[in-house]
Amino acid sequence: MTQQTAGTQTANVADREDSRDTGSPGKPGWRRLIRSLRNRKTAFMLLFGFASGLPYTLLLSTLYAWMSDARVDLETVGVFSLIGLAFAFKFLWSPLLDRVNIPFVKRLGHRKQWIVVAQFSLAFILAIVSTLDPAGAIGMLSLLAGTGAFASATQDVVMDAWRVDVADEVATIDILSTVYQLGWRSAVLVGGALALFLAERLGWPFVYAIMAGIMFCIAVASLFAPEAGQSETSLATDARHLADLRMAGQIRPQVRGWALAFVAALWAWALITVGVFMVRSLGSDPSFRPDSVAFVTQTGPVIVIATVIIPAAIAGWLEAMRRRGRHILQEDSRSTGTLDSLVDHGYRALILPLTEFVGRLGWAVVLVLALVLSYRITDTIWGSFAYPFYLGELQYTKDEVAIASKFFGVGALMLGIALGGALFTFIGRMAVMTIGAAAAAATNLLYADLSLGGHVMQAAAHLSGFAWLVEQLGGDARLARLMLAIGGENIAGGIAGAALVAYLSSITAKGYSAVQYALLSSLTFLVGTLGRGALGRMIEEQGYYPVFLLTTGIGLLAVVLCVLEWIRTARQSRVARQEASPAASEAADPSMVSQV
């Protein structure tokens, strides 16, 4: 048992080595990159990225423009943003997606069944939305938008798991993560800029009908996507894992049952709390709506502690008890009834993904969680104040902001994502992570300069010839410096975003990818979301310049954590190779076999 466990851990370490070490033989370079891009899995990952970004953009961004045209009051529009909670707390139902099959469509595959059903549901929802008048059917629109956000978040969870499951030596996790980001950003252009352009000429109902048709075509295409086909997702492997829980040396069923009951109660409470809050907010009269700011700042942290911190601590305690030989079975046992079977299945779905993660990383889980919490904080905390900064502080027009942010900015972001994907094959994942963190922090200084008048950005635009190019296209020098700042930030953000998705995918286990990735990806938005209130107060009291200096400093913390994680993973890779080397030599030497 000990040797087998050690071998499994070594294999897991090897699976998570830098992408340069897990690829095909030979040096990394353009040939490997091109071969990865031509892979069928990569093509579907691009499609899935588009399918993820399109409903998110239509329901959480473009729909607000339609409501504004329909003269819906701003308070109602603000309440609509609550449907975004489905994405923040998607990890709460992710265990069900990892273990439950959908009747009649489960033959599509363990992951594909959820992806296809979610996509057809989104197409149906968008089609109904196209027939509504936001001003006269706000209740139905709220229900459809909330249901669509839930379906979109659900497909995101399963797509993240699919990416981890299908990754191989050709379609590497880094390449799949990069094309996913490219697909997502392409959807932002289609569901955002193109939708606004068409709505001006054809009307909103026609636009949403077109988007429903696009979503339907994507769902049909997804029927032909390759399924993960991993042994971890097979019924036979699940049965073996359930049987392993009853073997000598495992935690006793009674202890597992109490741990499961406690964690399940916490998660059930969180689901009910979030659900009740959303129903009351979206379905109540404005005078009776709960305070959304208070919910996010007060109840939000409690929900995260109850659903992430405490379960992770329980998982760590269970793993520590198993390794110390306490509260464990002294001999093999069998399930004695329905209750035992339910406990085993629940423990496998809820607790085991956490114990696997904490047990595999050990104390390094503290470093990993700190990195995940802080890596994109400069983006998540500042993003809500971008438009007030452009329009209110800098006094740019809406057309100028649309050109700089929606068209040029999205193009720069996609360039950054593509650049990050290319760098993966040459310098490795953690190097790109560190570069992305440093660049994302440094680009805050570009906005600090804009807040003081933009003299440095103006000089850079003139010296580089960028100002001349913008002027030839109908703009002016003032627009050029805004475009240059947004372009620099978005290229850095693209590199950092591609790196983060690849990193999160690399530290999840294939057998528990849906739960683990959903948890980690939700944490990336936590600190930034909770810190927006304090940042807004700081802007009101001190202005924008000190805020950009602060976000730069916060970004440097992520750089330090990246370097520490880089050192840890490099050391882990060396240990794995050293442990694997004697085993390989022993297997290749016949004399060693005969001696055994």
Report yes or no: 399 and 482 within 8 Å, Cβ to Cβ: no
Which are the contacts of 234, defined by CB distance < 8 A and separation ≥ 6? none
H, E, C per residue of 319-354: HHHHHHCCCECCCCCCCCCHHHHHHHHHHHHHHHHH
Domain boundaries, the chain: 39-229, 231-362, 364-579
Question: What b/e sequence results for 443-456 when a residue is b if at least 16 CB atoms lie within 10 Å of its CB, and e otherwise?
Answer: bbbbbbbbbeebeb
Each residue of 199-243: pLDDT tens digit? 878 888 999 999 999 999 999 999 998 876 544 444 555 566 667
The predicted pLDDT at position 133 comes to: 86
Q: Give residue 384's pLDDT band: very low, low, confident or very high (50, 70, 90).
A: low
H, E, C per residue of 288-311: HCCCHHHHHHHHHHHHHHHHHHHH
Higher pLDDT among residues 526 and 140, named by residue = 140
Q: Give residue 380's pLDDT band: very low, low, confident or very high (50, 70, 90).
A: confident
Higher pLDDT among residues 514 and 331, named by residue = 331
Distance (Å, whole) CA 568 – CA 562: 10
| CATH classification code of 364-579 | 1.20.1250.20
Terminal CA-to-CA distance of the chain, rounded, Å?
A: 19
Distance (Å, whole) CA 263 – CA 349: 11
Higher pLDDT among residues 24 and 477, named by residue = 477
pLDDT higher than threshold 70 for residue 162: yes
| Distance set, CA 349 to CA 161, 241, 343, 445 (Å) | 14, 11, 10, 45
The predicted pLDDT at position 117 comes to: 95
Distance (Å, whole) CA 94 – CA 102: 14
* DSSP one-letter code for 24: S
> Which neighbouring-strand residues pair with 251?
328
Looking at the domain 39-229, which fold is it?
Answer: Growth Hormone; Chain: A; (1.20.1250)
- Tell me the mean pLDDT in the region 420-443: 88
Place of tokens 């919910």: 295
Higher pLDDT among residues 45 and 404, named by residue = 45
Amino acid identity of residue 440, one-letter, is A
Distance (Å, whole) CA 416 – CA 338: 53
Helix axis angle, 253-283 relative to 310-324, nearest 10°?
170
pLDDT higher than threshold 50 for residue 12: no
The predicted pLDDT at position 16 comes to: 37
> Which neighbouring-strand residues pair with 328?
251
The predicted pLDDT at position 127 comes to: 96
Which of 63-72, 138-147, 310-319, 550-559 comes out lowest in average pLDDT? 63-72
Measure the CA angle with vertex 555, ends 369 and 163; round to 5°: 50
Which of 147-161, 278-292, 364-378 comes out lowest in average pLDDT? 278-292
- Tell me the mean pLDDT in the region 417-428: 83
Q: How many alpha carbons lie under 13 Å from residue 139 in its C-beta half-sphere?
A: 4
The closest of 251, 266, 271 to 344, measured between CA atoms, is 251
pLDDT higher than threshold 60 for residue 590: no
The mean predicted confidence, pLDDT, of the chain is: 79
Max Cα–Cα distance, the chain, nearest Å: 84
Higher pLDDT among residues 263 and 397, named by residue = 263
Q: Give residue 76's pLDDT band: very low, low, confident or very high (50, 70, 90).
A: low
Which token pair is 239? 């049965």
pLDDT higher than threshold 80 for residue 74: no
pLDDT higher than threshold 50 for residue 534: yes
Higher pLDDT among residues 314 and 135, named by residue = 314
Q: Give residue 537's pLDDT band: very low, low, confident or very high (50, 70, 90).
A: low
Higher pLDDT among residues 224 and 381, named by residue = 224
The predicted pLDDT at position 11 comes to: 36
What percent of the chain is modeled with pLDDT above 90? 17
Exposed, middle or buried by CB within 10 Å (0-12, 13-18, 19+), for 157? buried
- Tell me the mean pLDDT in the region 150-160: 91
- Tell me the mean pLDDT in the region 123-149: 87
Each residue of 435-476: pLDDT tens digit? 999 999 999 999 999 999 889 999 999 998 998 998 888 888
Report yes or no: 524 and 493 within 8 Å, Cβ to Cβ: no
Each residue of 321-345: pLDDT tens digit? 888 888 888 877 776 667 777 777 7
Distance (Å, whole) CA 147 – CA 157: 16
Distance (Å, whole) CA 347 – CA 255: 11
The predicted pLDDT at position 342 comes to: 75
Which token pair is 118? 């979610």
Which token pair is 104? 């009649």
The predicted pLDDT at position 222 comes to: 93
The predicted pLDDT at position 23 comes to: 37
- Kindly write down the DSSP assignment for every residue of 118-131, as one continuous string: HHHHHHHHHHHHTT
The predicted pLDDT at position 285 comes to: 63
Helix axis angle, 173-188 relative to 30-37, nearest 10°?
60
Each residue of 18-51: pLDDT tens digit? 333 333 334 445 566 566 667 788 889 999 999 9
Exposed, middle or buried by CB within 10 Å (0-12, 13-18, 19+), for 288? exposed
Each residue of 482-503: pLDDT tens digit? 999 999 998 998 898 888 888 8
pLDDT higher than threshold 60 for residue 391: yes
The predicted pLDDT at position 322 comes to: 85
Exposed, middle or buried by CB within 10 Å (0-12, 13-18, 19+), for 478? middle
